Amino acid sequence: MNKTAQIELIVNGEKYFENVPVRMNLADFLRNKLGLTGTHVGCEHGVCGACTIFLDGVTARSCLTLAVQADETEITTIEGYETDKNASDLIKNFHKRNALQCGYCTPGMLASSIEYIEQGNPPDRKKVKEHISGNYCRCTGYQAIVDAICTTIQERQSR
């Protein structure tokens, strides 16, 4: 159970070579090995969505992914969304609209939001709610989050 393996991956544009326990999940690897504590762990079984990151361009639950599975992949986390995902407008709208309170769901909520926007989806409140329905937020009641996502899409459309 204490077996380790060497992995090589790119996180937020930076290359890493690390030796990891084979049973370590990706969330713990990002947080504890790389110090990227912006990724949060809420339930450790893929339900709450807080740990959602991008793995080779697609959202993934980093608590359900082993670090060794991320060998030879490219990962983007909340620390990279402003630059690597060009999401500064979304981040600005989250801030302006108060689409976060305690901030614990925010890394996963931003990931799901970026994915929705990148897929070219419309600023349709019902569709947005469905898309983020795998991300639990105890604080906001979700309305502000939906507002921020829709505003961002509308702003991009009118550009």
Binding site for another protein (CB under 8 A): 1-2, 21, 23-24, 31-32, 35-45, 47-48, 50, 77-79, 81-82, 91, 94-98, 100-107, 110, 125, 128-130, 132-146
Identify the residue whose tokens are 């979700």: 142
C-beta of 59 vs 106, nearer to another protein: 106
Tell me phi and psi for residue 7, to 5 degrees.
-125, 155
C-beta of 72 vs 150, nearer to another protein: 150
C-beta of 72 vs 126, nearer to another protein: 126
Report, in Å, the least distance between residue 6 CB and another protein: 19
Report, in Å, the least distance between residue 144 CB and another protein: 6
Report, in Å, the least distance between residue 17 CB and another protein: 20
Angle value at C-alpha 60, between 97 and 57, nearest 5 degrees = 85
C-beta of 72 vs 135, nearer to another protein: 135
Report, in Å, the least distance between residue 93 CB and another protein: 10
Amino acid identity at 97 = R
**Cα 147 from Cα 159, distance rounded (Å):** 18
Non-local (6+) Cβ contacts of 121 within 8 A are: 127, 128, 131, 153
C-beta of 73 vs 135, nearer to another protein: 135
Report, in Å, the least distance between residue 100 CB and another protein: 6
Q: Which two tokens stand for residue 55?
A: 């793995």
Closest CA to 89 of 63, 113, 56, 69: 113
What are the b/e assignments for 130-149, b being 16+ CB within 10 Å? Answer: ebbeebbbeebebebbbbbb
